Amino acid sequence: MKKQVSLSKEYLKGVWENNPILIQLLGLCPTLAVTVSAINGLAMGLAATFVLVMSSLLISSIRKIIPNQIRIASFIVIIATFVTVVDLVMKAKFPDLSKALGPFIPLIVVNCVILGRQEAFASKNNPGRAFLDAVGMGTGFTIALLVLGGIREIIGSRTFFGLQVLPDQYEPWLIMILPAGAFLTLGLLLGISNMYTDRKKRTEHESIIAHYKRVGREDIAEQLEVK
Amino acid sequence: MELFIIFISAALVNNFVLAYFLGICPFVGVSNKLSSAISMGMATTFVMVLTAIVSWLLYNLILIPYSLDFLQIPSFILVIAALVQFVEMVIKRVSQPLYRALGIFLPLITTNCAILGLALFGSMREYSFAENVVFGVGAGAGFTLALIIMAGIREELDLADVPKPFRGAPITLIVAGILALAFMGFAGMI
Amino acid sequence: MNKVTQMLLVLTSIGILAGGLLAMVSDWASPLIAANKKAETEAAIFRVQSEGKSYEKIKNAGFEVYKVMSENSLVIGYALVYEGNGFQGKIRLICGLTEDLEKIKSMEILEQVETPGLGTKVTEIPFTDQFKMLQTSPMVNMVKGVPPEDPNEIQAITGATISSKAVVEIINNGIAQMKKLRDAGGLK
């Protein structure tokens, strides 16, 4: 069954095909809230990735001794523990960043991406695969946050990672760093990613029809075209 | 007066959904029908008020006196999960019609970040007990309001000719963005 | 029964391990967090009282205020931390005052949630610099659209009148509290 999936694919699926934000629409709260700048997005993404990887590793290693009835409770306790570790380390070592992200670090606990991966993957696979899956999902999550934060920072405050990239003559669009800008940017980004996926599907579909036409099965081609 | 400001701030000016982005998942998921939006809003408000009470007691009577505040996140989330389970059981016993109306929404509430967010904000801002309860009521009212407005818009949106890639979540987020702009008009009320 | 014991056993051991790990991390982190917080306050105090060399918290004031001393431990003024409601939420600021409370030496916003790009201009130099050597009596005044004339006047930020007014009000309230405290002998 699942064994056939190659290891590299286990990693890559989270990055694009099953991107937690753009495709699965999970974990939107932190995505929208912290992405006023690229650095915030990156920090949030890395914090969530750390929690995801550590929880996945631990849960997949002890998956056989956790009784089924209490698995969700155990997952939540384990996730909450790692989140607290991240929160404390950030407060101690990166106070500025911790201030900027505020309560959204503790809120990683209820990020559906993390609990979702434990339930759907880590509790059913060996630690190696769970690790790759978690790193992949984390990468996808971080990239989406970084892109969103980057777009909003460049347009909204004409800087990228704090460095000015647009000339002074450009008047920053304040809306981009307001809550409204977060909703609008993510909405447009989702729409564009849908458009891309749709087009890819359509070209695949057309190439299948062309193939049947080539081999002389007009009937099947016609049927597919109606679809 | 202070209590009134907290209520207005939580419900309108700093609306949980539109300004803090808490509870986006149910906001996108459940806001397509007005009737389910109302039920979800009410169930969430109910749990929020209970969470405000219980998390305050837990934080100020147990975690702080015994300097266990590093256990804040795990204990809050466990309390919320237990609370939701408990509410579900009570409603099932007491009123069947209410259970049928709210029942299916209750399990969803555990993973609603608005609830944990409420508990965390409350302890972060060092509210008194009364303030925390009012904060819970305000946040719940704000969440319900945002959900109902959104559901009303989405029922109309079903009839509109939205470009295909933008149907569903993307257009919902864009509408939410416009709503967030409208809610900015409430700023300055406090 | 066996199942229940296993469930209890697993949950308890997860709980104990989690608690133990957190206690360890927290033991390591809490002194660092406390030090960060202290360094932050200290830096803010010496920014608004630039000749200050040491400071001391005034106890029982009912609000946060520090006595700031020069090199030869003479009191050169106070650093007052005060907060109030802004446009969208709390504004918290620190204000360096001369010893007679008649002048503001410097002012800085510590925390705010104002509208980015408009209200947040209250944290920026052109606005905060207006408070340097500003007279505090009878009280700080704000004018709109015209340059300030009197030594106790500042100019509001265009497009952020409410935020500017909030800052002025917080300062006036804070200084009023300070004067009350001084008259009651609490500044000694």
DSSP structure class, residue B60: I
State the SS3 of B66-87.
CCCHHHHHHHHHHHHHHHHHHH
Query: What would the mean pLDDT of C126-153 be, rounded to a whole number?
Result: 86
Judged against a pLDDT cut of 70, whether residue B66 lies above it is answered with yes
Q: Per-domain residue ranges for chain C?
A: 54-183
Q: Between β-strands C134-135 and A163-164, what pairing exists: parallel, antiparallel or unpaired?
A: unpaired
ipTM, interface predicted TM-score of the complex: 0.84
User: With bands split at pLDDT 50, 70 and 90, how would you rate the model's confidence at A3?
Assistant: low
Both A79 and A133 in one domain: the answer is: yes
Residue A60: which domain range?
A: 2-167
**Residue A89 sits at the chain B interface (C-beta within 8 Å):** no
Q: What are the strands, taking DSSP E only, across C52-102?
A: 54-57, 64-69, 75-85, 90-98
> Which of C10, C30, C118 is the closest to A65 by Cβ?
C10
Residue B169 lies in a domain: yes
CB of B70 closer than 8 Å to CB of C33: no
Q: Between β-strands C153-155 and C141-143, what pairing exists: parallel, antiparallel or unpaired?
A: parallel
Burial class (CB in 10 A: 0-12, 13-18, 19+), C62: exposed
Both A138 and A183 in one domain: the answer is: no
Both A140 and A220 in one domain: the answer is: no
| Chain A / chain C CB contacts < 8 angstroms | 60
Chain A closest-CA separation from residue C24 CA (Å)? 10
Locate C53 and state its tokens.
């060399």
**Residue C20 sits at the chain B interface (C-beta within 8 Å):** no
Q: Between β-strands C75-85 and C64-69, what pairing exists: parallel, antiparallel or unpaired?
A: antiparallel
Q: What are the strands, taking DSSP E only, across chain C?
A: 54-57, 64-69, 75-85, 90-98, 103-111, 134-135, 141-143, 153-155
> Which of B14, B71, B184 is the closest to C89 by Cβ?
B14
The Cα–Cα gap between B63 and B189 comes to 35
**Residue A84 sits at the chain C interface (C-beta within 8 Å):** yes
Query: What would the mean pLDDT of B10-32 be, rounded to a whole number?
Result: 81
CB of A105 closer than 8 Å to CB of A47: yes
CB C171: neighbour CB atoms within 10 A?
24
Both A138 and A209 in one domain: the answer is: no
Q: Which of A80, A208, A76, A59 is nearest to A123 (CA)?
A: A59
Residue B165 lies in a domain: yes
User: Which residue in A has a C-alpha nearest to residue C13's C-alpha?
Assistant: A74
Residue B78: which domain range?
A: 15-182
Domains in chain A, number = 2
pLDDT digits (tens, 9 = 90+) for A12-65: 887 877 888 877 777 787 788 888 889 989 999 999 999 999 999 999 998 888
Chain C closest-CA separation from residue A6 CA (Å)? 33
Name every residue whose Cβ is closer than 8 Å to that of residue C158 and which is 6 or more positions away in sequence.
C145
CB of C89 closer than 8 Å to CB of B14: yes
CA distances to A201, A203, A216 from A221, rounded to whole Å, are 16, 14, 9
Q: Which residues of C touch B187 (CB under 8 A)?
A: 87-88, 115
**Residue A33 sits at the chain C interface (C-beta within 8 Å):** no
Judged against a pLDDT cut of 90, whether residue A159 lies above it is answered with no
Chains that touch B (3 or more CB pairs under 8 A): A, C
Residue count of chain A, please give it: 227
pLDDT digits (tens, 9 = 90+) for C78-129: 999 998 888 877 899 999 999 888 889 999 998 888 877 778 888 888 888 8
Q: Do A182 and B113 touch (CB under 8 A)?
A: no
The Cα–Cα gap between B17 and C71 comes to 52
Show the CA angle centred on residue A34, arms to residues A33 and A35, nearest 5°: 105
Q: Which residues of C touch B188 (CB under 8 A)?
A: 87-88, 162
Q: Do B77 and A80 touch (CB under 8 A)?
A: yes
Chain C closest-CA separation from residue A200 CA (Å)? 39
Domains in chain B, number = 1
pLDDT digits (tens, 9 = 90+) for B70-110: 888 889 988 888 888 888 888 888 878 877 776 667 777 77
CA distances to A14, A88, A98, B184 from B1, rounded to whole Å, are 50, 36, 32, 22
The Cα–Cα gap between A23 and A113 comes to 12
Chain C closest-CA separation from residue A137 CA (Å)? 24
Task: List the 99-158 stretch of C: residues with Cβ below 8 A of B.
Answer: 113, 115
Residue count of chain B, please give it: 190
Q: What are the strands, taking DSSP E only, across chain B?
A: none
CB C22: neighbour CB atoms within 10 A?
23
Residue A65 lies in a domain: yes
| CA C88 from centroid of its chain's CA atoms | 17
Chain B closest-CA separation from residue A28 CA (Å)? 6
User: With bands split at pLDDT 50, 70 and 90, how would you rate the model's confidence at A157?
Assistant: confident
**Residue A186 sits at the chain B interface (C-beta within 8 Å):** yes
Residue A172 lies in a domain: no
So what's the pLDDT on residue A100? 83
Both A115 and A185 in one domain: the answer is: no
Q: Which residues of A touch B176 (CB under 8 A)?
A: 183, 187
